[in-house]
Amino acid sequence: MALSFREKYSFGIGAFGKDIILAYVGVFLMIYFTDVLYLSPAFVGSLFFVARIWDAINDPVMGMIVDNTHNKFGKFRTWISIGTILNAVTFVGMFYTFGLEGKMLYVYISIVYILYGMTYTMLDIPYWAWLPNLTDDPHEREQIGVIPRIFASSSYLIMGIISFHLIYFLNNIFGFTDNAKFGYTAGAILIAIIYITFIAITIFNVKENSSASSNEKINLKHMWTILTQNEHLKSYIGLMLAYQLFNGGYGSFMIYYLKYVAGNQNLFSIYSACQLAEMIGLLIFPFVAKKFGRDTTYKIACLVPVLGLSILGFSALFMPASAVLLAVAMVMMKIGAGLIIGTITVLVADVIDYNQLKFGMRNESIICSAQTFLVKTSGAVCGLMTGLALTFLKYDPTLPQQSTLTITGLRLLVFIPSMIFILISLFIYIKGYKLKGKVLYEVREKVAQLNCKSTHETKTEDKNIILESVNN
């Protein structure tokens, strides 16, 4: 049955809620830690990275827990509800330090940051695992999959545009003119309220078909089998991780680049406004994919940002204060990113279909845990890269003007790592990802055949024959 307009957009608006905190963290957390709390950049980068090592265990296990949840409220809605409340608390906690200083501050930040990552996993995995189950129609999936991505992109757009204006406004309105620390805390509380409200709209307006889920219990061995023996999942992980590193590469250095190289922190609003181009890329994705096919669409989507990064590199080296060059570069990069996100959103549904064919179970939450882990991992790698690079470049947040070494390093780091990562993602898609074309068509046909039969009618031998025919 096709989803109603209300369900489609109620589901999508939840993405705005959960990504508005990611946008807040992405824009402010690193600079809040280094320039407000004066934590060591190397420590911050290392913390981001170490937390992801734990997530390598935590995220798939959380996916298994979600898939093993069976109740009338629905496994997806249950964990989205629990995760949202807990995550909102830890999110605010990162921006409120209870007056702690020295070693105790470092310990507190380490604990609350790790808890923030764990609780975000609780809601992000079931949210994206819910998406492929909203419809079985591949064409409707392409249309529906774009909606939450547009809402998610709009959260980054809005947060980026208001950015430091929000912090300074909240700081000044409550009379804290000498230190921006209060503004960050007040902003986090405001964002947490928006976050909970928007997720609630999804929970209470979108029905979950709990009867579609298998009641068979999933153990650690089965989880490990899925993560290691689903060959299409492994290639999907590779191309998505490379894309996330492309996106986070320039983003991690951008605020430092604009503040110290371009000499104009207000350019961050222009940079963030270009997020609108990503939404345009998402909007045109269904039409581009229909006209050229997903294969060509992904190749175009990767090559357009390469051109944008080339323009950004020219600007960084010769005209860093140019708002025009910054805007042109970012528009190209974001349109390409929108097309990539649209493609990736649909690809994960195909991987889940293949998993059902190979293992007899869809395991949406376990597979989508890889997506959640990759988003956090890319952020951690970029955070580690930023922290270590700033330390190596002798960055000093107490100085109004940075050294020549720091300035030169920021000019290069704002575009070179991202250029490498986007080309890696394209290479993996071309050479490593095989679930496309004829293979994808056959997988869909065989999954449709399996779904037409009841579980008792479908023998393991039949499934193996079907799988062998697809692989051949």
CATH classification at residue 83: 1.20.1250.20
pTM: 0.72
Confidence class of residue 334 from pLDDT cuts 50, 70 and 90? very high
Do the domain assignments include residue 45? Answer: yes
Same domain, residue pair 172 and 231: no
User: In this predicted model, what pLDDT tens digit does every residue of 405-462 receive, in sequence order?
Assistant: 999 999 999 999 999 999 999 999 999 898 888 888 888 788 777 767 644 444 444 5
User: In this predicted model, what pLDDT tens digit does every residue of 99-126 receive, in sequence order?
Assistant: 898 999 999 999 999 999 899 989 998 9
The beta-carbon contacts of 426-431 under 8 Å, at least 24 apart in sequence, are 426/298, 426/299, 426/302, 426/303, 428/235, 428/238, 428/239, 428/242, 429/239, 429/298, 429/299, 429/302, 430/299
Share of the chain above pLDDT 90, in %: 35
Q: What is the average pLDDT score of the chain?
A: 85
Same domain, residue pair 186 and 327: no
Same domain, residue pair 222 and 175: no
Do the domain assignments include residue 147? Answer: yes
- Alpha carbons 280 and 39: distance in angstroms, whole number: 38
Residue 368's CB is within 10 A of a number of other CB atoms, namely 26
Do the domain assignments include residue 472? Answer: no
171, 206, 241: which is the final residue of a domain? 206
Same domain, residue pair 154 and 241: no
When mean pLDDT is compared across 144-148, 304-308, 401-405, 416-420, the lowest value belongs to 144-148
- Whether 238 shows a pLDDT value over 70: the answer reads yes
Same domain, residue pair 193 and 257: no
Which token pair is 265? 């922190």
- Whether 296 shows a pLDDT value over 90: the answer reads yes
Do the domain assignments include residue 271? Answer: yes
b/e code 224-263 from CB counts within 10 Å (16+ = b): eebbeebbbbebbbbbbbbbbbbbbbbbbbbbbbbbbbbe
Residue 16's CB is within 10 A of a number of other CB atoms, namely 24
Same domain, residue pair 326 and 364: yes
Which comes out higher in pLDDT, residue 152 or 427? 427
Same domain, residue pair 176 and 319: no
Share of the chain above pLDDT 70, in %: 91
Give the residue-averaged pLDDT of 320-327: 95
Do the domain assignments include residue 317? Answer: yes
Which comes out higher in pLDDT, residue 78 or 59? 78
Same domain, residue pair 91 and 73: yes
Same domain, residue pair 195 and 241: no
Number of domains making up the chain: 2
Same domain, residue pair 132 and 257: no
Domain span at residue 201 reads 1-206
Give the residue-averaged pLDDT of 256-281: 89
Which comes out higher in pLDDT, residue 219 or 234? 234
Same domain, residue pair 15 and 89: yes
Same domain, residue pair 183 and 247: no
- Whether 139 shows a pLDDT value over 70: the answer reads no
